[in-house]
Amino acid sequence: MKRATHAFVIGLAVVVVAGSASIAAAQTTTQPTGQKTLAATLNVYVFPAEGQNPEQQSMDEAACYNWAVQNTGSDPFDLQKQAQQQAQQTEQAKQQAKRAGSGAGAQGAVRGAAAGALIGAIAGDTGKGAAWGAGLGAVSGASQGAAARQHAQTQAARQGQSAQQAIAQQQENFIKAFTVCLEAKDYMVKF
């Protein structure tokens, strides 16, 4: 009886250890590793509809990524860099437009003073005419400078927005191609 009890306990221990090992193995394959898949990095959700294992899915995603790059001519990681550079260029253009219009008031004052001096000479008081002309020229120049500055800033913003839209369209085309390829390999895909 004692031997039977020992055999039963040993057998039970073997079953428990074997069961624990298979549970640990199952958890290892289903638990996330903390690294995003290529599709997840692109904000694309992929489900292996035919039970493909993670290694196969990774290879399929890489193959579809390369296929999509080849067929669209766009690499989404390069497009992301382009979008960032375009945003910086747009901001720089807006800042340059802001600075460019700041001297318009002084330029207007010089032109106004010259015109005022001419009118003052005709009226008999060159100094007074130059002073009035400089004041009017400064106001007029500042007003024109502000309008020019606003126009240049608006134009820079429109150009930047247009470039961003073009980049977004390229990214969308890439995602469509990537998705089509994965669906052809029996994955369910959503983005």
Note whether 74 and 174 are within 8 A (CB).
yes
Look at residue 47 and give its three-state secondary structure: strand
Higher pLDDT, residue 38 or 134: 38
CA atoms within 13 A on the CB side of 29: 9
Pick the more confident residue, 163 or 19.
163
Domain presence at residue 45: no
Total domains, the chain: 1
Task: Considering only CA atoms, give the Rg of the chain.
Answer: 36
In whole angstroms, give the CA distance from residue 142 to residue 108. 7
Least confident interval from 15-24, 95-104, 129-138: 15-24
The SS3 assignment for 27 reads helix
Please give the pLDDT value at position 154: 86
Domain that holds residue 135: 86-180
Evaluate whether residue 79 is within a structural domain. no
60-74, 90-104, 137-151: least confident range: 137-151
- Residue 66 pLDDT greater than 70, yes or no: yes
Q: Are the C-beta atoms of 145 and 105 separated by less than 8 Å?
A: yes
Q: What angle do CA 13, 18, 23 make, to 5 degrees?
A: 125
User: In terms of DSSP bridges, do strands 45-48 and 187-190 run parallel, antiparallel, or are they unpaired?
Assistant: antiparallel
Q: What is the pLDDT of residue 157?
A: 84
Q: Is residue 153 part of a domain?
A: yes
Would residue 40 count as lying in a domain? no
Is the pLDDT higher at 62 or at 136?
62
- Give the pLDDT mean for 83-100: 85
The model's confidence at residue 99, banded by pLDDT at 50, 70 and 90, is confident
pLDDT (tens digit per residue) in 13-50: 444 344 444 334 433 334 356 789 999 999 999 999 99
Distance CA 146, CA 21 (A): 75
> What predicted TM-score, i.e. pTM, was given to this entire model?
0.59
99's tokens: 């600075």
Q: Is residue 53 part of a domain?
A: no
Instruction: Answer yes or no: is 118 within a domain.
Output: yes
Residue 172 lies in a domain: yes
pLDDT of residue 93: 84
CB burial class (10 A; 0-12, 13-18, 19+) of residue 181?
Answer: buried
Q: Would 35 be classed as within a structural domain? A: no
